[in-house]
Amino acid sequence: MKITIFGTWYVGLVTGTCLAEVWHDVLCIDIDQQKVDNLKEWIIPIYEPGLQELVVRNYREWRLDFTTDASAWVAFATAIFSAVGTPPDANHKADLRFVKAVATTVAENMTDYKVFINKSTVPVTTGDMCKDLMSDILKSREVNIDFDIVSNPEFLKEGCAVKDFMLPDRIVCGVESERAKQVMTEIYKSFTRTDKPLMFTDIKSSEIIKYAANSFLATKISFINEIANFAELVGANVGDISKGIGLDPRIGSKFLHAGIGYGGSCFPKDVSALIETGKEYWIDFKIIKATESVNARQKTKPVEKLQSLLPELKWKTIAIWGLAFKPKTDDIRDAPSIDVINKLLSLWVDTIRAFDPVAMDNMAHEFENEQKVIFTARNYDALKSADALIILTEWDAFRNPDFDKVSELMKWNVIVDGRNIYNKHIMQEKWFNYIWIGK
Ligand SMILES: NC(=O)c1ccc[n+]([C@@H]2O[C@H](COP(=O)([O-])OP(=O)(O)OC[C@H]3O[C@@H](n4cnc5c(N)ncnc54)[C@H](O)[C@@H]3O)[C@@H](O)[C@H]2O)c1
Nearest alpha carbon, ligand 1 atom 3: 158
**% residues pLDDT > 70 (the chain):** 100
* Cα atoms found within 13 Å of the Cα of residue 33, Cβ hemisphere only: 1
What is the distance in A from the centroid of ligand 1 to the CA of 385? 41
Cα-based angle 191, 262, 328 (whole degrees, multiple of 5): 55
Residue 39's pLDDT is 96
Statement: residue 229 has pLDDT above 90: yes
Domain 2-201 identical in fold to domain 211-296: no
Distance set, CA 15 to CA 3, 21, 59, 155 (Å): 10, 10, 14, 11
CATH code of the domain made up of 211-296 = 1.10.1040.10
Which of 2.40.110.10, 1.10.3300.10, 3.40.50.720, 2.40.50.100 is the CATH number of 299-436?
A: 3.40.50.720
Mean pLDDT calculated for residue range 148-166:
96
One-letter amino acid at 310 equals L
Percent pLDDT > 90 in the chain is 96
Pick the residue whose CA is nearest to atom 36 on ligand 1: 7
pLDDT tens, position by position, 81-120: 999 999 999 999 999 999 999 999 999 999 999 999 999 9
End-to-end CA distance of the chain: 54
Is the model's pLDDT at 192 over the cut of 90?
no
At residue 439 the predicted structure's pLDDT band, cuts being 50, 70 and 90, is: confident
Mean pLDDT of the chain: 96
DSSP string, 262-304: --SSSHHHHHHHHHHHHHHTT---HHHHHHHHHHHHHTTHHHH
Protein residue with least CA distance to atom 28, ligand 1: 98
Q: What's the rounded mean pLDDT across residues 376-403?
A: 97
Query: What residues have CB less than 8 Å from 227, skipping those under 6 apart?
Result: 238, 241, 258, 438
| CA–CA distance, 407 with 383 (Å, rounded to integer) | 9
Beta-ladder partners of 88: 94
The gap from C-alpha 117 to its chain's centroid, in whole angstroms, comes to 20
Give the residue ranges of DSSP H helices in 4-65. Answer: 10-21, 33-40, 51-60
Q: Which of 89, 126, 265 to mutate to test the pocket of ligand 1 (most atoms within 8 A of CB)?
A: 265
For residue 173, the CA-to-ligand 1 centroid distance in Å is: 19
Which residues, 6+ apart, have CB-to-CB distance to 129 below 8 Å?
96, 100
H runs (alpha helix) in 299-354: 301-309, 336-346
18 Cβ contact partners less than 8 Å away, ≥ 6 residues apart: 54, 162, 165, 166
The DSSP letter of residue 150 is E
Q: How many helices (H) and strands (E) does the chain have?
A: 17, 14
Could you give the residue numbers annotated as active site?
266
Q: How many angstroms separate the CA atoms of 181 and 115, rounded? A: 10
Sign of dihedral through CA atoms 369, 374, 379, 383?
negative
Answer whether 428's CB lies under 8 Å from 403's CB. no
- Determine the distance from the C-alpha atom of residue 197 to the mean position of all C-alpha atoms in its chain, rounded to a whole number: 24
Distance 306 CA to ligand 1 centre (A): 36
Q: What is the predicted pLDDT for the residue at 194?
A: 67
Determine which helix (DSSP H) or strand (DSSP E) holds 362, and give its type and residue range.
helix 360-366
Section 261-282 average pLDDT: 97
Is residue 355 within 8 Å of 273, Cβ to Cβ?
Answer: no
The full set of domain ranges for the chain reads: 2-201, 211-296, 299-436
Q: What is the Cα–Cα distance from 112 to 122, expressed in whole angstroms?
A: 25
Write the pLDDT tens digit of every residue in 275-305: 999 999 999 999 999 999 999 999 999 999 9
Other beta carbons within 10 angstroms of residue 197's beta carbon come to 12
- d(CA 421, CA 62) in angstroms, rounded, equals 44
User: Band of the pLDDT at 311, cuts 50, 70, 90?
Assistant: confident
| 2-201 topology per CATH | Rossmann fold (3.40.50)
Instruction: Name every protein residue with a CB atom under 6 angstroms from any ligand 1 atom.
Output: 6-12, 29-32, 35, 70, 83-86, 98, 101-102, 120-121, 154, 156, 158, 265-266
